[in-house]
Structure 1
Amino acid sequence: MCRWYARILAHYPYIIILVVLTVVTTCLVLTITLGSRIDFDDPIAGFEPRGTELADRLVTFANLRQNVGNQTNLLPESKVTDNRPSSTVKKKPKRTSFNNNTDKKYRRWRSNMNNKTNANIFCGVPDESYPRLVVESTHDRSLFNFEDIQAICEMESHYFLHYEPYKNLCIRNPVDGFCCTAWTLGSYIAVLSEKNSCEHITAEDVASVQSLMLECAPFFHSGTLKINCDSEQEEWYFNSNYPPSACSDVPLKCTKYNAVAHIFYYLADSDFMHTRTPPLSSNKPKSFLKYSTLFLPVSSREHALDLFKELDSMPRDYKAIKIVAAEFNVKYLLFEEYLISDSMWLSGACAAIFIVMWLYTSSVFITIMAFLSLFWAVDIAYCLYTFVFNIKFFPYMNMVTLVVLVGIGADDLFIYCKVWRLAKSEKNNGVLEKLVLDTLQHAVMSMLVTSLTTASAFYANYISDITAIRCFSVFAGTCIVMNFVLTLTWLPASIMLEEKWLRCFTNMNNKKYSILYCLCKFPYRLYYWICDWSRIFFEKILPCLVIKFRFVWLIMFSIFWIGSIVIIFFYPRLKLPTSDKFQVFSSDHLLERYDLQVGKQFRFESNKNNVDRQQFFVSVVWGVLAKDNGDPLNPSNKGSLTFDPEFNITSPEAQKWILQFCARIRHTDFYLHMSSYTDCFFERFFKEFMAQDCSNLQVGDVECCNRTGFPIPADKLMDCLSIYISLLQHTPGVQYNNHSPGPRFSNRKISAFFVQLASNYSYSTSYEEAHTFYSKVNQWVNNESLYAPPGMRRGWFVSDLHFYDLQSSLAMGTPLTLGLSLSIVAVVSFFTTLNVLISIYAFMAVAASISVTLASLVLMDWELNLLESVIITIAVGLAIDITLHYGVAYRLAPDIGKEMRVITSVGRMGSPVAMATFTTMLAGALIMPSTVLAYQKFGTFLLLLVSLAWLYATFFFQSLLRIMGPNGGCGQFHWPASDCCTQGTRGHVDKTVYAFSDSTVSTSSTSTREQSQSQNYYTSHHELEPLTGQDHHLQRHQMPHSNNNIPYGCPQHLDQHNHHHPRRKGDYLTVKSSSTLLSTSGNTPSSPSASSIDKHKLKLTLDSIPAS
């Protein structure tokens, strides 16, 4: 098989090229014509668990409340058809307006605008839906001073009013037709001072209002001064989001225009003039104003998007103030644009790696073809992802795969080109077909190891419960596998195309081809210059450092490892996310600063976040099974309801039990006493509605009164429920809708029922608090279900625990995924080296490098969020490659002592390993300036992980091998002899077998290696590659020795392909008369007799080098 494929590559490479092009073109056409458009309008889609116990309950409960009219109804008379569409409609973010209340407020304000005095300079009152930005002083002083307030007013004019498009975006004043005034601290001071504009206020006005704020502050902080104290509903300063208040005992000057309350509530941070005692560490007075908001009168989200882009292009600092945060409700709309614009950083990384690859391969054609193979890999992987795996959802995290793919692709190219160059440079290198065969035999194993470990780490993430992570694992793993396949097909065929045909068009030594000559000669010169220095460093200096200071390295890196464990698990510890705000941009972005840091400093934001989350609610559901039958890889497909066939709440036992259940839950220690008409639906129905006096009924009315016996027969129960629910829907102050607890009907049968009561547990994003609440209530409901009637035993509890479910999935899924990845790495490392000790030491080095990397990230304030979880689990696949290269090199080095084996492994593998490390670090460093958080964090992670992995592999792992490494056959296993892909039969000794170094050592297959050792001594005792500048210059001058005008690679030159390139005497390290030694001893190099060869028998010789 190997010989057949090598023959095709050597003689018909264009066939491989055409086959690959046919496949990738087919995939590309299918993707463009039949595939759906990739969009990232909702970047948080898929960042939720699916398949967990709690996730199934949350999905089912959401379907129960949202599918009213499809599978269930609020009234018994409504009929439900068998057409049950599942909830697969993808919800797009609304782009037309912020909310309906904004337009209503504006119309009401405009209707009475003409009757107001000049004190009314606003278009209504501030609203949470308006765009806003936050400023602070640049001089570390309170903003409540005349200079800073004037700067805020001027910034409004300079940044917005003078911005021509803003005049078309803003809400206009119907009186004068100009843009409405922004709600700022200066504008409110102007209103209280009876001025027309904040530009007209004076220092005395500022001081007067500050004194007023100090006088009114106690009333506001005590709750006496409210938002709507001095206003009727028709007034311009009435806030319809809050009820009118009498505000008794509050001075009239504090309620004028509600300005003081608006300043405290909307414009000033919550610490401003607060009555509580400031912390001892704070030396600021209570009147210190740190932050202030500026609300802009823009009601359309699309307009706000354009406005934010203009703001983002402006300087942050303006005179004595600076913009520190902003909220324009456009973060997710901006995300896709930033994702595209940040691709320039990825393009920069690709360009830099392209140059490095060009210098390494000395071929523009090969480098271009290598980059095309990366594109083909993504193309084929996406086609498989969409049409074969049938995954409809494409999260933005999949874009991170491109960064890893560039690094892996460069590594594979370095390995293959290195082996190919060594194969051509050796004496007796044979025919072209043999060169291809030997290159494949020695390169495939290493590329397989790196691709297998990386792809396995990606695929291991599939056991996660989170949709986006699972989709990412499939796409990323498939990309790595496809890249490996193309490295075995597209890349060798491309190299053969250049070798056989493309070199014929360029005479590299003829300067009359000036452009091509300069283009191709520069990388050669730079490459050989680098090689001169790298040979000295990697073969002399680095092995000396490793061996001489081995105990220092071992102790120092072990201390780092132990310290990292303390940092990760004890203090400061890797923590679960504490904020349910999903971050998509870098932390210094204006929108993210508002969400994560500054927004919570204002009272209106705190109240907005807590209005629906003051307490955890307890919802207990019967009649539907907690089963998510939707697509777990598609967040928009939540499936449909699965009804419980045993559910029956109309039985006499069930009617009695549900009343007892409601009574018992009110006596629990987690119940919060809060009156509601619908919390426990049947309580009020049985005890109030059914207890009414029958004398009040009219002729023809259904008898739903106190004469009706309890339990109620099923038919009459349906009739009475229909009347009761209709009354609820028309009762003032009572909202009975799809989200209200109570029965749900299907064809005059109660198909589902749920109760909902408040708990005394405050809503919290703390994992420990949410876990305590869920465990306690869930246990109580399960115990109650044990004693329920047969038709009520499948009830289950649910609450607003989406964030807790995410935290729980991360806390349990990340260690499992990491353990699976480490297990795969341990297996791969063992089967690669077949040595127990080397595998254990490699595992230790990988674990240590990952541990130190995580500790570094913890010290950088990283939390275990979604992106961090993926990063941690794929770290294993990226960190093992370097260690495995060194491990295999040590395993295959001449068995003449641990020190010499370490020197050999470092000398041979140092250069390609360092190059692979450098390119991956380069890719990470160049995407770190991105705005998108995924790119930024992944770049930071790559930079840290790869650098630490190289340090631990080079110094820690090699020091372990030098001190406690295997010697001889200690801990060594062997594959059974096999003829697959070997160079002939066992009885035949191939005279053209040549020695490889560097990448060759790490890339050789173990099975092939064992077979080769019995054939030729040189296969075990590898020569060191010549890297001196003199040697390479000599090769370049002597390569076209026979005919200077015949370019290398042309048919005329192919006839002389078996020539040996002359080398210096010091470039070969051989064992004199090695073949004679083998024939007389009858042992392989790994046998005791071969391994006991005295070092002093090794010497530099020219015996095996023929004259040029």
Structure 2
Amino acid sequence: MIERVGRLYSRSLYRHPVLFLIIPLLITTVIPFGLLWLFPIRLSQNAEIGFDTKDTVLSGPRLAWARIQPSLMFSNRIAFSNPRPIDTDVQQPSVQPVNKRVRRSWADNLLSAINQVACYDSPIPLMDHLSQIVLEVPNYDAIFDLKFLDKLCQMQSNISKPLSRFDAFTPYRNIWSVANMFACISPNLRVNCTQLDESDIKIVRKTIDNCWKYRTPIFECRNEKCQGQCSTCREVPEECSSQIMHDLFYRLLPKSRDETPFLVNTFLPVFTLTGYITQNIPVDVILYDALELSVIDYSKKSGFELKGLLMDVKRDRLLAAALRDSILALLAAGLVMIVVAVHSQSLLYAFVVILLLALSVVGALGVYSLFTDEFPLLNLVTFVLLIAIGSDDAFLLKSNFPNHLNEETFHSFLTHTSFTMFLTCFSTVVPFFINITSNVIVFRRVYPLLCFGLFAGVTVIFNYFMVVSFLPAFLLIQHRHLDCFTGFKFPYRSVFSHLLYVLLPHVLVQGRYVLMALLSIVAIGGAAITYQGLHLPEYNPLQLFTSDNLHEWYDNNAERNFEFVSDPFFSLKTARDVHKIARSLEKARQLPFVNHQAKFWPERFLDWSDKYPCARGFLCCNMSNPLFSDSYLDFCLRNSTSFLATSYNDTPIFDNQTFAFVGYTAMLPTTLKYNHRFSKLTKSFEMLEMTKPDGGWWAPEWWLMSTWFDLLSSIVQDCLSSVVGSLIFVAIFAFIQLKFQAIAAVVTIAGVIFTSSAIVTLLGWVLGVLEAVILVLVVGLSFDYTLHYGAALPDHGCAEHRIREATSKGVGPVTLAAFTSFLAGASMLPALTHAFYQVGVFLVVISWTSWTFSTFFYLPMLSLTLPRQSGICPYCEKTNIFYFLSY
């Protein structure tokens, strides 16, 4: 049946190529553009869209808290889509107007003004949220160089113009650098750093050297728990006990003074963009652009080595950078077009191949628009991946197109190539579609239908549809009607052909044992490097730009160098319920990592209830009084809010429509420090689980903490399941095509995976969300070249000649495919954004390793796995006849 359908298809394509040229064009142009007109999509500027989790233990509380948190900042009455009915047996109070309440947070503690003198005796409010500059000097001694301090001091006046644009938003006016700190530490009563001289530097250095050994006691003495009252404070010398000295060690100087080069931090009198947003202060990002440019210009003029910046503006700059990097995809397409033109000796064929790739993306966009109108930036890299994947098929079709064209040879050509391309296409698509089951939404962009993987997978499917219809039809038309347009001749084509088709097969056969031994050692070493070195990101939750970007450098390195760095079962219907939640909160307050003294609202409600005067004929709210009834509790709970202060971080929650009591929220301050490292986050979240009340749930106030931890937990499991699932499917495909040679293919693929993973690990990769998405492709892309060689393997002959024949037939398309993938990846290396750069690195690595292992490991390994020839080898006979005639 399949053979009959295949023959009917090839016959129709052979006889009516124009029809098969027009229909795919209509399917990939008219229909998608019509869908895009009806359902337009927009490029999302939010870099974090999709980098989320769903259907996990932590995702429910996080999403619920993210939804109700904004409402709680104004009132404890919240609108619910399915409001709870009011108990009609309970007397209801009259509705009182709801007054807006101000959230109690660090923003409320912002001072209205501050002395413009750089020196201070008490902590500067919100200093953690100020913008920062990190400079690099040769060593610790360099920070005491008077010339360096003088240039650092002059930064204030040189960047004063862009700084002044923030005066309306920020009360601070001074740059806190080591120069200003030294002026404050000096006993010579310097007003500012411009008055520093050599005598000051000598005294300051002696003081700092002496205080360095007290760094830990200084930090402990100044923390929130101690506040200068601990026994540790008595160990600190008086000259080391000031707030200036604490901030110098804690904020400006790195953890070790022996490091070379030596990093120095500087605080600007400007909040980060996030710092302003959390205070509801709108600030234009353009102001930060001007400030950053001024800092960079002054650093260059002064000879500073500027290493990092903290302004929290990465997300706002991502869209422009991603669009700029998208132009590099056009460069990649141009380079691939040149290679295709050289190989095919036809510029027209090269243009059609690029057109085919573009139409595949358009077709996928049309399907994508049916499910969502939001197009995340990560999807932009799909075209780069398609260039690397789709060009393989173009070389395969051109190389195998029959010289003596007739209906029978065309059928054999189309059957062989379409099946081979189907296996390579499907092995690439499988990892994308496996990710639909992932808990990470970036793997399945719109739950549960659309995702980055689904978009890329649909694109590859459209590409396969085009290469089995549109491209063969064009080759037929070109062969019949366009042969008069002769192409150009590549001058060194014969030399490369001799190297690939004559010398390489001889090297593979004669040196097979050495090649297999060397690459086996490489693969085993790669597995060890990957196991030891590939880990989850420790410092930067979501990298958007390349690592040399000033803002990314700060996020990746600041922490390691500087110190600072609704439940339906819940109810309160009885006095017993109130006592139960009060006891839970009391226990949570007494946990070692909480130690919160102030009582929460349920505990204060019990105290208020005990003092409530009761009399016959009136509602009684004293739960210890015989006149009290549980039916009064609803009224008492709401009535108590008129006497007991409630706030954003300690409040009962009522339905805004029915006024029914639906929940309660309390904020527990802890001594736990947030850290991006997964191992430390795991311990913290295990401890926080102890605060979970019966019938309730917990979530961090900053819900992105929970997002990051949940994301890391899901990445490990989902990436592993995707790779293993892909490997299983590839093994099945290998057995279908290669039969008993599939074992050699699977071993080769494993070698490619281990080696590629080791190389990217040595290049500094960590298993972030983007890297996990990329690495699931390694199985499919490592299979392509091996499959091409396996498909070129003759069915008969001795092992040596079968390997030689497979090498001669397959090395051309495989080498060209690897070269175009390498070019596509190399074109992305100048990219500014992390996604495009990492995809470029991956394509460069996977093309090189996959070509190396498929050529120098898989083919030699066939000499051990191919069955012995029973009978006469036709290739050996040809060779013997040749020698006989020569003799």
What CA deviation, in whole Å up to 9, does each residue of 1:297-321 have, x standing for no partner?
A: 5884523432256258748655553
Q: Is the 8 A contact 1:6 1:437 kept in 2?
A: yes
Q: Is the alpha carbon distance of 1:849 and 1:1094 closer, same or farther for their aligned partners in structure 2, counting shifts above 3 Å?
A: closer
2:52 corresponding residue in structure 1: 48
TM-score normalized by the length of structure 1: 0.66
| TM-score (norm. length: structure 2) | 0.81
Q: 1:103/1:380 Cα in 2 relative to 1: closer, same or farther (>3 Å)?
A: farther
Instruction: Give the equivalent residue in structure 1 for 2:337.
Output: 354
Amino acid at match of 2:775: I
1:749 is aligned to 660
In structure 2, which of residues 610, 620, 643 is the aligned counterpart of residue 691 of structure 1? Answer: 610
Within a 5 Å distance, the mapping from 1:819-968 to structure 2 comes to 819-833=724-738, 835=739, 837-890=740-793, 893-967=794-868
Report if the CA contact (8 A) 1:885-1:913 is conserved. yes
User: Residue 704 of structure 1 corresponds to which residue in structure 2?
Assistant: 621
> Could you say which residue in structure 1 is the equivalent of 2:508?
546
- The 1:199–1:18 alpha-carbon spacing in structure 2 relative to 1, beyond 3 Å, is farther
Alpha-carbon shift at residue 860 of structure 1 (Å): 3.2
Match of 2:721 in 1: 816
- Any conservation in 1 of the 2:42–2:374 contact (CA below 8 Å)? no
CA deviation after TM superposition for structure 1 residue 597, in Å: 0.8
> 2:819 and 2:238 mapped to 1: Cα distance?
71
Deviations 1:1029-1085 (A, max 9, x none): xxxxxxxxxxxxxxxxxxxxxxxxxxxxxxxxxxxxxxxxxxxxxxxxxxxxxxxxx
Q: Following TM superposition, by how much is the alpha carbon of 1:579 offset from its aligned partner in structure 2, in angstroms?
A: 2.8
- Relative to structure 1, is the Cα distance of residues 316 and 17 closer, same or farther in structure 2, using a 3 angstrom cutoff? farther
What residue identity is the alignment partner of 1:443? T
1:133 maps to 2:142: no
Alpha-carbon distance, 1:393 to partner: 4.1
CA distance in 2, matches of 1:942, 1:756: 47
User: What is the distance in 1 between the residues matched to 2:622 and 2:822?
Assistant: 79
Would you say the 8 A contact 2:319–2:377 is kept in 1? Answer: no
Q: Secondary structure at the match of 1:134?
A: strand
Q: Cα deviation per residue 1:746-793 (whole Å; 9 max; x = unaligned)?
A: 734333346665678665545445445656876997xx96xxxxxxxx
Secondary structure of the residue aligned to 2:24 is helix
AA in 2 matched with 1:166:
P
Post-superposition offset of 1:824: 0.9
Q: Distance in 1 between matches of 2:813 and 2:650?
A: 66
Name the CA distance, whole Å, in 1 between partners of 2:663 and 2:604. Answer: 18
Matches within 5 A, 1:583-602: 583-598=543-558, 601-602=561-562
Distance 1:368 1:442, change over 3 A: same
Per the TM alignment, residue 650 of structure 1 is displaced from its structure 2 partner at its CA by 1.2
Deviation, 1:700, is: 10
From 345, 349, 352, give the equivalent of 2:328.
345
Q: Assess, with a 3 A threshold, how the Cα gap between structure 1 residues 867 and 967 changes in structure 2: closer, same or farther.
A: farther
> In terms of mean alpha carbon deviation, does 336-345 or 450-459 score higher?
336-345
Shift in alpha-carbon separation, 1:871–1:1100, aligned structure 2, 3 A: farther
1:716 and 2:632 equivalent?
Answer: yes
Cα distance per residue 1:145-191 (max 9 Å; x no partner): 21111222455556x35xxx7387454999xxxx9664444456667
1:1024 corresponding residue in structure 2:
none
Residue 367 of structure 1 pairs with residue 286 of structure 2:
no
Match 2:597 to one of 653, 669, 675: 675
2:644 aligned counterpart, secondary structure: helix
1:411 positional shift? 0.9
- The 1:923–1:154 alpha-carbon spacing in structure 2 relative to 1, beyond 3 Å, is same
Asked if 1:39 corresponds to 2:20, the answer is no
Task: After TM superposition, give the deviation of residue 875 of structure 1 in Å.
Answer: 0.4
Deviation at 1:359, TM superposition (A): 0.6
Determine the structure 2 residue equivalent to 1:482. Answer: 462
- Distance between the aligned counterparts of 2:644 and 2:342, measured in 1? 79
Contact in 1 for aligned 2:309/2:551 (Cα 8 Å): yes
- In 1: Cα distance, 2:36 partner to 2:716 partner: 37
Shift of 1:843: 0.9
Identity of aligned residues (%): 21
Alignment partner, residue 455 of structure 1 = 429
CA distances 1:644-693 after superposition (whole Å, capped 9, x unpaired): 2x6543146645654565677678x8774422322xx433322x111116
Aligned length: 828
* Residue identity in the other structure for 1:692: K
Residues in 2 aligned to 1:48 and 1:767: alpha-carbon distance in whole angstroms? 16
Shift in CA distance, 660/209, structure 1 to aligned 2, threshold 3 Å: closer
The answer for the alignment partner of 1:1106 in structure 2 is none
CA gap 1:862/1:315 in 2 versus in 1, 3 angstroms: farther
Cα distance between partner residues in 2 of 1:173 and 1:302: 13
- Matched residues in 1 for 2:477 and 2:269: separation? 63
Over aligned residues, Cα RMSD in angstroms?
4.5
Contact 1:917/1:946 (8 A) holds in 2: yes
Is the CA contact 1:269–1:602 (under 8 Å) kept in the aligned structure 2?
A: yes
Q: Is the 8 A contact 1:849 1:948 kept in 2?
A: yes
Label 1:293 to 1:348 Cα distance change in 2 as closer, same or farther (>3 A). same
Q: Residue 147 of structure 2 aligns to which amino acid in structure 1?
A: E
The one-letter code of the counterpart of 1:456 is: V
- Structure 1 residue 1095 and structure 2 residue 876: aligned? yes
Verify the 8 A CA contact 2:130 2:267 in the aligned structure 1: no
Paired with 1:412 and 1:685, the residues of 2 have a C-alpha distance of 73
Q: Identify the match of residue 402 of structure 1 among 379, 383, 386.
A: 383
> Partner of 1:295 in structure 2?
268
Provide Cα deviations, 1:545-567, integer angstroms capped at 9, x if missing partner.
22222222232222333333333
CA distance change for structure 1 residues 806 and 407 in 2, over 3 Å: closer, same or farther?
same
- 2:394 is aligned with what amino acid? L
Point out where structure 2 has 5 or more consecutive residues left out of the alignment. 85-104, 277-282, 445-450, 883-887
Aligned to 1:649: 572
Is the 8 Å Cα contact of residues 924 and 943 (structure 1) preserved in structure 2?
yes
**Alignment-mate amino acid for residue 1096 of structure 1:** E
Looking at structure 2, the residues matched to 878 and 180 of structure 1 have their Cα atoms a distance apart, in angstroms, of 55
CA distance in 2, matches of 1:17, 1:849: 37
Cα deviation code 1:556-592 (max 9, x no counterpart): 22233333333333xx243233235322222222111
- The residue type paired with residue 474 of structure 2 is S
Q: Call closer, same or farther: CA 1:921–1:155 in 2, change over 3 Å.
A: same
Give 1:134 shift.
1.7
Q: C-alpha separation between the residues in 2 aligned to 1:915 and 1:312?
A: 46
Question: 1:157 and 1:14 mapped to 2: Cα distance?
Answer: 72
Q: CA deviation at 1:809?
A: 0.7
Q: Which has the higher helix share?
A: 2
Name the SS for the 1:468 alignment partner: coil
Give the letter aligned to residue 265 of structure 2.
S
Q: Letter of the 1:415 partner, please give it.
A: L
Alignment of 1:428-827 (within 5 A): 429-430=405-406, 436-470=410-444, 471-502=451-482, 508=486, 520-521=487-488, 524-526=489-491, 529-530=492-493, 532-569=494-531, 572-579=532-539, 581-598=541-558, 601-602=561-562, 605-606=564-565, 624-625=566-567, 644=568, 647-651=570-574, 654-655=577-578, 657-658=580-581, 672-678=594-600, 681-686=601-606, 688-692=607-611, 694=613, 703-705=620-622, 708-709=625-626, 713-729=629-645, 736-737=647-648, 739-740=649-650, 742=652, 744-745=654-655, 747-753=658-664, 763-768=674-679, 770-771=681-682, 795-796=696-697, 801-827=706-732
Higher RCO, 1 or 2 (CA under 8 Å, sep at least 6)?
2
CA pair 312-413 structure 1, distance change in 2 beyond 3 A = farther
Residue 1104 (structure 1) aligns with: none
